[in-house]
Amino acid sequence: MTSAIGTLTKARALPQAAPGTITRRTHPLWFLLPAYALLLVFFVLPTAYQFVYAFTDWSGFKASINPVGVENLTQLASDGTLFRALRITVVYAVLVAIFQNAFGFGLAVLLERDTLVNRICRTFFVVPVLMSALAVGYVFQALLKGTGLLADTTWTIVVVALIHAWKWMGLAMLIYLAGLKTIPEDVLEAARIDGASRWRAFWAIRVPLLAPAVTFNVATALLGSMNGFDIVQATTGGGPARTTELLNIFIYRTFGQGLFAQATTMSLVLFLLVTLMAFPVIYLLRRREEVQ
């Protein structure tokens, strides 16, 4: 934290910044404080505390909190439930990433031209993004009641991933649209003059140039749905037979039983997993951008 602010203040002392960097200063740096304060209280501190409480016996059953070493970790590792929940969470995140990007990309291509109908359609597809995730979950639960789609121990995870993707596809669409709009017209014109068909120009020119949008969309969908909770909780509550019990739902249940330290340990595992996944995923997607 302190080092981040230190870097910011140091930047002022170095007028010879890299070319293209905006060195002009319009606002005093302390304007950042409210934002950093919120980030600190609601993100940095809880995350830091995870590393403390995960190694204690904090519970709802007694007032004192004592250190217990790695006992919570060894217990979780010996119990298959954590690994099952982790597996379900990763499967869910990958499915969401695929569906959300496929839908978003399809919609962006379909609605790319700025016609009146397209503009109206785009607005409609963004509405679910603005809806409460719980409302989305309850609506789908009501819609799918009695169809058996939420009672299948194999396929329900796919159904909830589709619902998650449906809710967020409007955002992916917006990002892909922005990507499509920034492709320079002259590149496409050059392709046309070279005799490339529309099909060829699409796959050989426009899709590769969307790489930064792909990076953003895949990373946010994948890593965002690793932290999934609300939609699944509202739609299935983790059922049937806990086949859609994401790690966060498991954490919520454990916390609710008063086992706060164990729940914290699981959050820590999830935090580390998301971090470990984020670096290679973003690195690989970035490399893909450069290759193009």
> What 8-state DSSP symbol labels residue 56?
B
User: Judged by CB, which is closer to another protein: 79, or 114?
Assistant: 79
Query: In whole angstroms, how close is the CB of 26 to another protein at the nearest point?
Result: 17
Site for another protein in 218-237 (CB under 8 A): none
Structure-block tokens of residue 243: 């086949």
Site for another protein in 247-266 (CB under 8 A): 252-253, 255-262
Nearest to 178 by CA among 214, 225, 219: 214
Listed residue (175, 87, 82, 83) closest to 125, CA to CA: 175
| Closest alpha carbon to 249 in 273, 231, 268 | 231
Residue written as tokens 């439930």? 81
Of 19-27, 74-82, 104-112, 181-189, which part binds another protein (CB under 8 A)?
Answer: 74-82
**Which of the ranges 148-156, 168-176, 203-211, 282-290 carries the binding residues for another protein, by CB under 8 A?**
148-156
Instruction: Report 153-212 residues binding another protein (CB under 8 A).
Output: 153
User: Is the previous residue joined to 240 through a cis bond, with omega within 30 degrees of 0?
Assistant: yes
For residue 281, the minimal CB distance to another protein (Å) is 31
Closest CA to 93 of 277, 265, 288: 277
Nearer to another protein, 115 or 153 (CB): 153
131 lies in the site for another protein, by CB under 8 A = no
The neighbouring-strand residues paired with 20 are: none
CB of 149 to another protein, least distance (A): 11
| From 51-59, 86-94, 200-208, 276-284, span contacting another protein (CB under 8 A) | 51-59
CB of 255 to another protein, least distance (A): 6
Q: What are phi and psi of 56, to 5 degrees?
A: -125, 180
DSSP H helical ranges for 145-197: 156-181, 185-193
Partners of 67 in the β-ladder:
56
Count of positions on this chain that bind another protein (CB under 8 A): 44
Q: Is 57 in the site for another protein (CB under 8 A)?
A: yes
Rounded-to-integer distance, Cα 75 and Cα 86, Å: 15
Residues within the interface to another protein (CB under 8 A): 1-2, 5-6, 9, 29-30, 33, 37, 40-41, 45-46, 49, 57-65, 75, 79, 81, 148, 151, 153, 239-243, 252-253, 255-262
